[in-house]
Amino acid sequence: MTMPLMRPKRKNPVLRTPQMNLPPGARGRVALGMTAAAAEGRFELQACAECGAVQYPPREACHRCLSADLRWQRQSGAGELLSVTTLSHSNDNFFRERLPWRLGLVKLDNGPTLVTHVHGEVAGSGARVVVGARLDRAGQAVLIAFPPEGSEHMADDKVLREMTSDPKLRKVLVTDGKSPTGQALARALIGAGADIVWLGHAEPWKKMPGFAEVAALPQVTPVALDLTNERSVSELAGEIGGKVDIVINNAEVHRTAGIAARRGTDVARAEMDVNYFGLLRLAQAFAPALKGRSADGVLNATAWVNILSIYALANFPPHGTFSASKAAALSLAQCLRAEMRPAGVRVINVFPGPVDDEWNQNLPPPKLAPSALAAAVVRALKDGVEDVYPGDVAQEWLARWRENPKVLERELAAGGL
Amino acid sequence: MRRRLGYEGVAVTAPVTVPYVRYSTHGAHWFIGQALRSLVKTAGIAKDDIDGLTVSSFSLVPDTAVGVTQHMGLSPRWLDHIPTGGASGVMSLRRAARAVQAGDADIVACVAADTNHVDSFRATLGSFSDFARDATYPYGSGGPNSIFAFVTANFMRRYGATREDFGRIAVAQRANALKNPNALFKKPLSMEEYIAARPISEPIHLFDCVMPCAGAEAFLVMREERARDLGLPYVLVRGAIERHNAFADDPVMERGGWLMDRDDLYAQAGATPADVDFLQPYDDYPVIVMLQLEDLGFCGKGEGPAFVRTQRLTHDGDLPVNTSGGQLSAGQAGAAGGFLGMTEAIRQLTGQAGARSVPAARLGLVSGFGMVTFDRCLCTGAVLLGSPS
């Protein structure tokens, strides 16, 4: 049983806020294949396409038949804990600050032996376990042995919490509370146990449906925030920057036009001003504060979420300028991720397909319900993944894009979805 | 398999030790230089008489053995770089012996040396191997401690070994070390102190771990006639084996490659374990000493715990084990730890072991074990050394 996480005592303001020491983050190029899969929530190992052998650690040839044709293959992770040790000493500061730390030697049912972190609910050696891959605070895949069935509060395990960004008891900024997605995010975060949700709203005199109800929830505090206004962003950062644990940037401008359908660049500029420059302003104001608090106890600053679009991968011509602004935002988000990594703050990019809102009114179903998008964001925070493609449309686009980006481009140009 | 050529006529001589220090501001080259100087002086030869060289070192990087030749002004006609840690002693001797037999070299200097700066050990761990970087160091960064904790815990569970059993090995080796002037540990170790030591990586406690230090060990390999002409006390190679990545399918290490080749080893010497007067096993952790007792045939698989309960392991005991104190009590000077058993065995068999002598020793066994790249040690080897009859 994992003890449920309790609200920690108020911190001593005299003491220096602990700084982050990342766990060892160096990996070889081959081993990064495991990180790539874990970034999307999958546990994959190398399997030989010729003889079928599954192997670990990752390597450049099949250890059984020497084939170089090695594919990343999803694993069930079922296995047995052969041996377990509790470290009372470590050569690395990250672990030194978190001792004692339990490690296991696990034999997977399909062959390889692994060294893993061990969830607190796993009993001693001989226990059945299910190994999963998670990103650690350095952003690299690590393996963790879970019990086959966890208890209610298993997410609160000390080891697992180092690899996730659970919103429970945390303070979250959602940048746009006026959209259906923003309101769904607020409700989902409260459902996941968030302590405070700061809900941004630009132009407060404009009343949008649903906002008043969400703003009235006890955990919600509406805050004035206009991402097109640097001053507005930095004023809010001055006010709450030192307290925010999770930033979710869902503010966006979405208009439905390509190049020829409009004259001038005003609309495209407005999209870029929020979708791209808005992210840049937000990151310049809030990222330093998050980085400074990334090791601040059990309720540390932990994650930054960008609601992008599946159109960031390939331009959808009917929404051409919007696609371009999201592609720009994706590129900037990768930069942000690299800059947040030294502090161990996770940057999660969410790539939804068309959301069921006013700007996608003319698109055929299936469309992603705002509540489903919000649920996917909360799940990503809890699972500690880095890239999320929620909904059937996004999943299909992703598969087609991975298969052949050029073919997808041609299909989209021909009016396909 | 074709029967191998014997090691007849190969002499091993001039065991030298560059005194161990916990930390040194010198580089690995300094220790190699002092070891070579000591070899030349001990053997009474000219530096240029060394026409073969093996070098074993971790802290030598980015140099290898070839860089050492220029650094030291040597011009050997045979060279080998053997960076295999705990197995480097056995492996160097085997290679040097063949070079001498074949006439590729007349006098081979086998040198193992490492320096140790304050942060060397930590810096070595994460970059020790690709597998360590990818698959063990990010897990607690305990270095080999956590891997051998798995091996030890598994061994205890499978075969009923207790911490006291491992303690018997550590305590006996400390008693030996007190008679070795070069050992870094100078205080006796009691079983109570061993048991009460702080945990490092359960069930590994402080006195199960070696202390990294700086130092060097070296010896010379030449034809028997040459050693006799030089008037050097020497030992002969009675048999030698080596194996890598043995029993790779064992999910957790319970046995080593010695088990695969030990019949060959004893057959080369026409001997049995009962004929062995002392054993110098590689001792990065006591459990590995126990594995060698089993896998080299001093007792059966799983009988190691019972063996150490009844046998005295001190230099004057029933089966003297690591008469120098071993790495556990002398210190682990990097790759020189893989040579420690070899120089000690030569000293024992040539009457140079002083207060820690094994009475009337004629045949000694030196075994090596090296390189934890992921979840186990990969290299194993063993050499039987005998006094010339």
Q: What is the pLDDT of residues A30-88, one digit of tens each?
A: 999 999 999 999 999 999 999 999 999 999 999 999 999 999 999 999 999 999 999 99
In this complex, the residue of B138, B141, B201 whose CB is nearest that of residue A88 is: B201
Return the pLDDT at B123: 79
Which residues have CB under 8 Å from A114's CB, separation 6+?
A56, A79, A105, A106, A107, A108, A131, A143, B135
- Mode of pairing for the β-strands spanning A171-174 and A246-249: parallel
In this complex, the residue of B201, B248, B375 whose CB is nearest that of residue A115 is: B375
Mean pLDDT by 10 residues, chain B (389 residues): 89 98 96 98 98 97 95 98 96 98 98 93 82 95 94 97 98 98 96 98 97 97 98 98 96 96 97 98 97 98 97 97 97 96 98 96 97 93 95
Q: B142 and A90 in contact by Cβ < 8 A?
A: yes
Domain count, chain B: 2
One domain for residues A268 and A399: yes
Q: Which domain holds residue A176?
A: 171-413
Residues of A in contact with B143 (CB under 8 A): 91
* Amino acid letter, residue B68: V
Return the pLDDT at A417: 67
Chain A closest-CA separation from residue B30 CA (Å): 27
B278 three-state secondary structure:
strand
Instruction: Report the percentage of chain A scoring pLDDT > 90.
Output: 91
A103 close contact with B: CB closer than 8 A:
yes
B56 three-state secondary structure:
strand
Label residue A415 by pLDDT band (50, 70, 90): confident
CA distances from B229 to B7, B38, B224 (A): 20, 19, 9
Chain A closest-CA separation from residue B143 CA (Å): 8
Q: Which of B83, B58, B82, B60 is nearest to B72 (CA)?
A: B60
From A139, A161, A183, give the residue that closes a domain: A161
A88 close contact with B: CB closer than 8 A:
yes
User: Contact, B336 vs B294, CB < 8 A?
Assistant: no
Q: A142 and B138 in contact by Cβ < 8 A?
A: yes
From A161, A181, A204, give the residue that closes a domain: A161
Q: B135 and A114 in contact by Cβ < 8 A?
A: yes
One domain for residues A147 and A239: no
If you count residue pairs, one on A and one on B, with CB atoms under 8 Å apart, how many are there?
123
Label residue A206 by pLDDT band (50, 70, 90): confident
Q: Is the predicted pLDDT of residue A207 greater than 90, yes or no?
A: no
- pLDDT tens for residues A236-260? 999 999 999 999 999 999 999 899 9
One domain for residues B22 and B135: no
Is residue A12 a part of any domain in this protein? no
User: Contact, A76 vs A68, CB < 8 A?
Assistant: no
Is residue B294 a part of any domain in this protein? yes
- Mode of pairing for the β-strands spanning B107-114 and A387-388: unpaired
One domain for residues A96 and A179: no
One domain for residues A341 and A362: yes
Q: Given 3-state DSSP classes, what are the helix, strand and coil percentages for chain A, each rounded to the nearest 5?
A: 35, 20, 45
Label residue A204 by pLDDT band (50, 70, 90): confident
A84 three-state secondary structure:
strand
Return the pLDDT at B127: 79
Residue of B296 and A261 predicted with greater confidence: B296
Residues paired with A55 in a beta bridge: A46
User: Contact, A327 vs A310, CB < 8 A?
Assistant: no
Q: What is the mean pLDDT of residues A165-173?
A: 97
Compute the mean pLDDT over every residue in chain A, rounded to the nearest whole number: 95
User: Contact, A177 vs A149, CB < 8 A?
Assistant: no
Is residue A10 a part of any domain in this protein? no
Domain count, chain A: 2
Q: Which domain holds residue B331?
A: 128-184+195-204+237-382
Q: Given 3-state DSSP classes, what are the helix, strand and coil percentages for chain B, each rounded to the nearest 5?
A: 40, 20, 40
One domain for residues A178 and A311: yes
One domain for residues B52 and B25: yes
Give ipTM to 2 decimals. Answer: 0.93
One domain for residues A203 and A334: yes
Is residue A19 a part of any domain in this protein? no
Q: A90 and B134 in contact by Cβ < 8 A?
A: no
